[in-house]
A and B are shown apart, each in its own frame.
Chain A
Amino acid sequence: MFKSQAPPIFRATIDTDKCIRCKRCIQNCGWSTYSWGGDRVQIDTSKCVNCLRCYHYCPTEAIEILKEETRFKDNGYWSYNHIRNIKRQAETGGIPLTGMGCDREGTILFDHLMLDACQVTNPSIDPLREPMELKTFLGKKPSKLEFTKDKNGKRKLVTKMPPNLELAAPVIFSPMSYGSISLNAQKVLARAAKECGILMNTGEGGLHEDLKPYTSNIIVQVASGRFGVNPEYLNAGVAVEIKIGQGAKPGIGGHLPGEKIPLEVAKARMIPVGTDALSPAPQHDIYSIEDLRQLIYAIKEATNYKPVSVKIATVHNVAAIASGIVRAGADIVYLDGFRGGTGAAPGIIRDHLGIPIEHALAAVDDRLRQEGIRNEASIIAAGGIRSAADAAKAIALGADAVAIGTAALMTMGCTLCGKCYTGNCSWGITTQRPELTARLDPEVYAVRLSNLIRAWVHELMEVLGALGVNAVESLRGSRERLRGVGLDAQTLDMLGIKPAGR
C-alpha cells in the first residue's frame, strides 16, 4: 500500500496548550480524523472534510481547520481539482463521487439580476403596516371561470376548480429521501413544513411511520426504483411527484448501498435489509411522453385525482420537455437546475450536465405562455436557491414557488463539505449511523428551519413592499421588474429582461 498522491485538502490542527484532552473531537468526528494517542489527540488530516463539527464542539477553541498549504504548483489551465482527480483515478480506476450541488465557479445569473423599487411615481408599501400576501396555490387553474345567477341575482360558480396545494409562502422543501438523509432530518423538514404552512417531499425513500402525523404537509414521490410505493403511500400525502430527473445528476439513477439499508430504511422502502437500493437511470415504464401520460393518469386514478407533479432536471430542450409534461396532464412541473444538490453524484455528471435554473425557468415560462397553457400547471424552480433574493428573482422570472434543499440542510448544521455520499455526516444529516443521527434533535432543529423560512418570508415581504405590490402574484412572471447588469444581449433576450438603464 503506497501513500496516495492525492494530497489532503485540509489541515486539521489542535493547539495543545488550549486542548484539555476532553476527547469531544474524537467523539464528534464521523470520519475518524481524530484518535487518542495516550496523552494527546492524534490527527489523520487526510480524513478531514472541513465540516467543522469538531470546531463547534471543542470547549476551548483549540481546533483550527486550515486549507492545506502544500499544493501542486499553480497552473492557470490545469486546476488543482483536475490534477487531484487524475491522481485519484489513476489509483482507483473509478469515478470520483461528489455530494451537494456543483461548486464550480462561473457566471451566476441570479447575481446579475437586479430587482426594481418604487420612487415618487408609485408609493412603496410598508409590510409592517399594510397587508402583504404571499399565499400561493400550486396546481392546474382553469383558463376562465363560468358563473350562473340564481333567482335573486346571486352568482354561483359553475366551473369545477381543480385541486390545488395551498402554501403560506412560495417556498417548499425539495425532495430528500429517507436513506439519503436520516429520519431525524426528515422529521425536521416535516415539522417545519407544518409550522410554516408549506410542504416537504419524501423523495424516493417511502414514508416512515413517524411522518404520518405530518402528511397534510407532505408530497410523496414516485421515482425509478418505486421504493415504498403502494396505494396507501400514494394516498398518504397531499400530492404525488413523479421524479424523472435531478439537477445534480440528469440522466442517471441512484445507488444506495446495502450497508445503508438498516431495518427502518428497509421497511420504509419495502425492500430486504442490507440489499442495495438501485434506482435505474430511466423509469423503465417511461420511455416516451405518452408513457408519462399513462403514469400520471394511473396515479390520478389511484389517488382520486390529487395533483401530480413531475420533476425534471433542466437540460437543453427543457422548454419543449416541460410543455410535453404539461400536455401529458401534470399539475406541477418541478424544474431542478444544474446547481441543485444531491447526496451522491459522479463529479463529471454533476459539474458538466444540464443548464442553470434561471435560463430553464425563463424558457419554460415563455414556452407555456406562447402555447397558451401556462395556467395548466404551476412551475417550481429549484437547484441553487440560496436566499430570499434568489427566490424573488426566480418568481419574477416566472416561478410559482421555489424549492430549497441545501439551504434547509444548512439550518441543521450542514456546512456544504460535500461528503454526503460517505454516510459519515458528523451532523447526523446524511447518515444512518445511529450514534450520528441521534445528534440531530428534530424539535430543536425544526425551530431553526422554521426561523429560516420566517426570515425569508419577511425578506420577500420587504421586497414586494419596495416593489409597491402587496401580493406575490403581482411579481410572479413580472420580468419588467428585473434588470440585467453585465449580461450580453443574447442572455438578456433569453431571460426576457432589459439591461439596467433601459
Chain B
Amino acid sequence: MNHDFQKDIAGCGLTGLISKKRTRVSGAIIAKSLTLMTDRGNGLGAGYAAYGIYPDFEEFYAFHIMYDVQSARFSVEEYLKDNFHVEKVEEIPTTPVPEIAINPLLVRYFISPLKDKVTGSGGEEDFVVNVVMKINSEIDGAYVFSSGKNMGVFKGVGNPSVISKFFRLDEYEGHIWTAHTRFPTNTPGWWGGAHPFTLLDWSIVHNGEISSYGINKRYLEMFGYKLSLLTDTEVVAYLFDLLIRRHGLDVETACTILAAPFWKDIDDLDPDEKEMVTALRQTYASALLNGPFSLLFGHKNGLVGINDRIKLRPLVAATKDDMVYMASEESAIRAICPVPEKVWAPRAGNPVIVTLDN
C-alpha cells in the first residue's frame, strides 16, 4: 500500500445547475456564474462538467483524455483499440488564448467495450472503471478527464473565464452543469488536478479538505481502487462509485454514510430508522467524510449538493421553475438567475437531492 504520497490541498468555489425537464442550457451560463467568484480561485485551476452534451453519441462512453506527451497517446490508443469499438476520435476543439501558453494534448473518444473483453461479474461498467484506473496509474503522461456516457469534463490550469473560452464552452448545451474554481495552496497547477473529478458518469466538484482522507483512501484501496491523484476529491468520487454503483445503495443512503448524523441525533430516531442508521455508521465508518466540505455530485440522473456534518463550508441552493441552482455563494446563483423563487442554505449534512424527470 502506498503511504508515501504528497497530498494536495486546495480551497475553492463551486456552482451547478440542473433542469429537471432536461432543457439544455449553454455552457456560457454556468461560466458566468463561476467567473463571478473571483476570490475563491487563484487562477491555478478551473473546470466544468456537462451532462447531455453528446446526444448523437449517447450510446457510447465518451472518454476525454489529456496527454502530457505524444507517446502516451500511442500507448492509450493501442490499448483502447484492443478493448473497445472506437466510433469516433477527435481532438477536443479549443481556441488559443493568451493566458494559456502551453496546454496538454486533449482528445475525446466515443467508444464501446468489445463484448468478449468484458469478463467477471462486474459487467461493462466495472470493465470501464478498470480501464480508467489502468490508464491513470500505468500510462505515464495520460490522464482520463471523464469517461461517462453523454457527458464530459473540460478543465485545466487557468481562471474560470480563460478555461471556458479555451474550451469554447458556449458551443455546448447540457441539462446538468457543475463547475469549479480552485485555490491550491501547495502545488503548481496541473491540468489533471483541476476539478471536476469523475468516474463513469459520476462527477464531483468539491470545496474543502477531507481531514479523514487517510482512512478514506485506505478503505477504498481495500476494494481495489487506485488513488493516483492524491486529492481529497478523488476519494469522494470513488466513494460515490463504491456505495452507489457497486454496493447498490441509493443516493440518499450514500449521503447518510458520507455525512453521517451524530449519535445524539440517531438516538432520537424511531427504532427502525435508528437500527438502519446505526448499521450504516458501523459498516461504513471508514467512508465517513470528516472535515470541512461542500460538494456537488452530478450523475446521469440528477444533481446532489451536500455539506459536511457541521457545515464548515458554504453552500446555497435556489429554485426557479424546473431549474435548481447550487453554489458556494448566493451571488453566483443570482448572476445567472436574478429572481429565484426560493433561496436557502441547506443544513449541515442534509443533502439537496435533485432527480431528472422521467
Interface residues of A in 459-502 (CB under 8 A from B): 467-471, 473-481, 493, 496-498, 502
Which of the residues A125, A142, A476 comes within 8 Å of B283, measured between beta carbons? A142
- Residue B342, interface by CB 8 Å: no
Which of the residues B4, B286, B309 comes within 8 Å of A470, measured between beta carbons? B309
Judging by beta carbons under 8 Å apart, are B276 and A122 in contact? Answer: no
Inter-chain residue pair count (beta carbon < 8 A): 127
Judging by beta carbons under 8 Å apart, are A496 and B286 in contact? Answer: no
Q: Is the interface of A mostly helix, strand, loop or mixed?
A: loop
- Residue A386, interface by CB 8 Å: no
State in angstroms the CA–CA spacing of A344 and B338 once bound together: 78
CB neighbours (8 Å) of A146 from chain B are: 248
Interface residues of A in 297-339 (CB under 8 A from B): none
**Min CB–CB distance B351 → chain A (angstroms):** 15
Give the most central of A122, A144, A159, A374: most B CB within 10 Å.
Answer: A122
Interface residues of A in 122-142 (CB under 8 A from B): 122-123, 125, 130-131, 133, 135, 137, 141-142
* Contact flag A121-B209 (CB < 8 Å), given A471-B290, A474-B288: yes
Judging by beta carbons under 8 Å apart, are A123 and B312 in contact? Answer: yes
Judging by beta carbons under 8 Å apart, are A369 and B310 in contact? Answer: no
CB neighbours (8 Å) of A86 from chain B are: none
- Residue B340, interface by CB 8 Å: no
CB neighbours (8 Å) of B1 from chain A are: 366, 369-370, 496
Least CB separation from A374: chain B residue: B222
Judging by beta carbons under 8 Å apart, are B7 and A468 in contact? Answer: no
Judging by beta carbons under 8 Å apart, are B262 and A133 in contact? Answer: yes
- Residue A157, interface by CB 8 Å: yes
CB neighbours (8 Å) of A496 from chain B are: 1, 3
CB neighbours (8 Å) of A444 from chain B are: none
Judging by beta carbons under 8 Å apart, are B310 and A145 in contact? Answer: no
Judging by beta carbons under 8 Å apart, are B222 and A145 in contact? Answer: no
A-B interface, 6 closest residue pairs, ranked by CB to CB distance from nearest: A480-B214, A478-B214, A474-B290, A474-B212, A473-B285, A478-B215
Chain A residues at the B interface, C-beta cutoff of 8 Å: 118, 120-123, 125, 130-131, 133, 135, 137, 141-147, 155-157, 159, 161, 164, 366, 369-370, 372, 374-375, 467-471, 473-481, 493, 496-498, 502
27 contacts between A and B (CB under 8 A): A121-B9, A122-B291, A122-B292, A122-B312, A125-B310, A130-B310, A135-B263, A141-B282, A141-B283, A145-B247, A145-B284, A147-B250, A147-B253, A147-B276, A155-B253, A370-B1, A468-B209, A468-B290, A470-B310, A474-B288, A474-B291, A476-B215, A476-B286, A477-B286, A478-B213, A478-B218, A480-B7
Chain B residues at the A interface, C-beta cutoff of 8 Å: 1, 3-4, 6-7, 9, 11, 185, 208-209, 211-215, 217-219, 221-223, 246-250, 253, 260, 262-264, 272, 275-276, 279-286, 288, 290-292, 309-310, 312
